[in-house]
Amino acid sequence: MTGIVLKIASVFVFVAMSAIIKGAEGVPVGQLIFYRSAFALVPVLIFLSFRGELITGFKTQRLGAHIFRGCLGTTGMIMIFFGLTRLPLPEATTINYATPLFIVIFSAVFLREKIRFFRWSAVVVGLIGVIIIMWPRLTFFTSGAEAMGPQTVGALAAFAACMVSATAMLTVRNLVKTERSSTIVIYFSLVSTVIGLASLPFGWAPLSLGDALILAMAGIAGGVAQILLTESYRHAELTTVAPFEYSSMILSIAVGFLVFHEIPTLEMLIGGTIVTAAGIFIIYREHRLGLDRAKAREVSSPA
């Protein structure tokens, strides 16, 4: 229960952060990345200091791998933020549910993992759900001057972000074999902060003190959410807490309606339900396969 509560809390904080980013109209994405990443380090470093892991969190023998993962993750974050600022919050949130689907695809293609029929079926169904969500925005299938409007570009960016984020997650799978979770979080935040700061010469929007504080709060919220997420995995298995990620759809609909006066489309509700069901089925299959592997090891181990 502790793990589930922490997971749901992380979802709430992540959605709050996304709402702040969405509300930052006119602020360049690079500037948003800087605030999101730099201020996320504040709660992370405080938390690690409290646990006595601050010094060890910076120790690594794989700096190049951390930089590569940071560049991938930041690229995905740029695309996600781009989509957030151009799409209704519920649509941007549910399109991101395609990330686990691409993790399955890329695991089969690049890591040669054996994916059976049921998981492949769930991936196909889930991608159909994502296409249903995006369909009203895919105006390039129609004629007219607005064939590639802002919402179309935003939807495509959000979808591409899922592929980039899935690739980044595969690098994390490799990193966790030798690196601490705290080390991965620290170096990701550092790399994305540097990338965001590098966008300064291309022009940042002038911010009032209040606006700067709000964006700083978004960064702090991102760091707090990351801590809550990591701690949820400490208290419960991944397959137990992962399905609660999809509670963000309900929350984003509520926030989108109350804050941004966004009414979810029928396509978003239908597609979101489909991709959520597909994602939960994949998690269930992963759990069952894990149990089967454990039983096989018990049978094959000497008495």
Q: What is the pLDDT of residues 105-117, one digit of tens each?
A: 988 888 888 888 8
Mean pLDDT of the chain: 86
- Residue 225 in 3-state DSSP? helix
Q: pTM for this one?
A: 0.86
- For residue 99, what are its two tokens? 């990330």
Spans of all domains in the chain = 2-300
List of the chain residues with pLDDT < 70? 139-148, 238-239, 287-303
pLDDT of residue 283: 81
CB atoms within 10 A of CB 199: 17
Q: Which of 275, 69, 87 is nearest to 168 (CA)?
A: 69
Question: pLDDT tens across 150-171, in order?
Answer: 888 899 999 999 999 989 888 8
Q: Which of 22, 40, 86 is nearest to 192 (CA)?
A: 40
pLDDT of residue 295: 47
- For residue 32, what are its two tokens? 């948003």
Q: Which of 100, 167, 86, 168 is nearest to 130 (CA)?
A: 100
Q: How many residues does the chain have?
A: 303
